[in-house]
Structure formats: C-alpha cells, structure tokens
C-alpha cells in the first residue's frame, strides 16, 4: 500500500511540474480558459492536423480569439490565409475542441496564440 501511495505522489508531482508548451501563447484576460492543449497528427497527404482542446471554467459563455501560424522545417513562417485572428464563443462550464489543418504540406510546426479581444 505504501508503494502505491508513493507512486501516486510521484506521478502527481511529475504531472504538476510539466512545463507548458511554448508554442501555445495565452494572452491576458483569459483566466477562465484553462487546460489548453494541442494534439498534432501528420496526415497521409502530408498536411499537419491539430486538435485544440481547452475548458471554459466560467459559468457563462466566453468569447476569445485565436491565431494559428505555421512554420516550415527550417522554422520560417509560412504565409497563409489561415494566419488571421478567429473569434470563438465557448459555453460556460464546458470543454471545447476544434480542429485546424495546415494550408501547406511544408508546414512542420506551429504557434497558437489566444487573446481576449483584438485591441
């Protein structure tokens, strides 16, 4: 029993110390938007698919904006019509999921920015 409790404690400590993904940039004013994560999957056609998840902890609906930028293997920004601010409304007390697909097969990595408003 002691070994199990020790293992649970170590696992909890390790998960609590995980560093946030530096490719996800969360602006100020989004304290109710939590648990942001991105799963990425290279598709068979060479495009990169992202599944963005998070949670609105507020009791009411919240609006926010996000912008996704794509980069090639050398880290150069790829010009894309997708690289614009998009508005999202998320209902209160619910998780959210949305999917994005790269505009070019050259895209190998990404940066995702969130902000409360466009000011």
Per residue in 53-62, pLDDT tens? 999 999 999 9
Per residue in 3-34, pLDDT tens? 665 555 555 555 556 678 899 999 888 899 99
More confident residue, 119 or 66: 66
C-alpha 2/C-alpha 47 separation (Å) is: 48
Enumerate the domain spans of the chain.
23-115
CB-based contact 25:114 (threshold 8 Å)? yes
pLDDT band at 119 (very low <50, low <70, confident <90, very high): confident
CATH number of 23-115: 2.60.40.3230
C-alpha 8/C-alpha 107 separation (Å) is: 39
Considering the entire predicted model, what is its pTM? 0.77
């Amino acid at each position: 029993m002691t070994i199990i409790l020790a293992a649970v404690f170590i696992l909890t400590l390790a998960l609590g110390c995980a560093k946030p993904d530096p490719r996800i940039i969360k602006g100020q004013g989004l304290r109710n938007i939590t648990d942001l994560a991105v799963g990425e999957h290279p598709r068979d056609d060479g495009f990169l698919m992202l599944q963005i998840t998070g949670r609105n902890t507020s009791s009411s609906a919240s609006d926010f904006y996000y912008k996704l930028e794509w980069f090639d293997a050398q880290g150069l920004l790829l010009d894309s019509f997708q690289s614009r601010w998009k508005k999202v409304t998320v209902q209160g007390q619910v998780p959210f999921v949305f999917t994005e697909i790269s505009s070019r097969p050259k895209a190998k990595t990404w940066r995702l920015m969130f902000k409360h408003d466009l000011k």
